[in-house]
Amino acid sequence: MSIASYPMQDRRGSSRAATPQRPSRAATHALIIHRAEIVRLGVSTMLASGSACEVASAGSVYEAFRLASDVHPRLVLFDFTPSEGPEVGRLLAALWPRPRLIALVTRGREVAPADCISVGIDAVMLLENINRETFLVVVRRVMDGLGPIVAGF
């Protein structure tokens, strides 16, 4: 079954003036920061396939800050390590305009969700324990301002 719409016509046969279309929602700029290129590619693919995000990625925090000054991301997903994660989270939270922050944690690292949330991060995900749908739900909720969110722990 398909749905089609046709322009309305009045009884005299002339078509009504077209209503102006709503402006399309601007794409959300997302920035992925992770040392492993395979992780950056996987996260980028999930974001691009399930949301209206323009995705940039960086292999280091230095490169990420250079990119952030150009694209002003509204969403930043980054590798949270026990040694660098808290400081990187604080630095990213200081960007203007402040982006939504999602910490990406991998198995084997001693990171508790509370460690991430306490530095101002909006969501924490343990990558090995989530699927694509859960990932996209977390991203949508973070972008809607709901949180803090913990997934996969």
The Cα 30–Cα 94 span in angstroms is 16
Residues 117-143: what's their mean pLDDT? Answer: 95
Q: Are 105 and 125 in contact (CB under 8 A)?
A: yes
Residues 88-103: what's their mean pLDDT? Answer: 94
pLDDT for res 143: 94
Q: Are 77 and 114 in contact (CB under 8 A)?
A: no
Residues 112-140: what's their mean pLDDT? Answer: 95
pLDDT for res 12: 52
The token duo for 112 is 């508790």
Q: Could you identify the residue written with the tokens 């990420």? A: 64
Residues 125-135: what's their mean pLDDT? Answer: 95
Pick the residue with more confidence: 44 or 14?
Answer: 44
Query: Which of 15-24, 33-42, 121-130, 143-152 is the least confident region?
Result: 15-24
Over the stretch 43-81, which tens digit does the pLDDT of each residue have? Answer: 999 998 887 889 999 999 999 999 999 999 999 999 999
pLDDT for res 147: 85
The token duo for 17 is 């003036």
The Cα 14–Cα 71 span in angstroms is 46
Name the strand (E) or helix (H) holding 38. helix 37-50
Given a cut of 80, whether residue 84 has pLDDT beyond it is yes
Buried b (16+ CB within 10 A) or exposed e, 89-107: beebeebeeebbbbbbbbe
Given a cut of 90, whether residue 128 has pLDDT beyond it is yes
Pick the residue with more confidence: 7 or 145?
Answer: 145
**Considering the chain, what is the average pLDDT of its residues?**
86
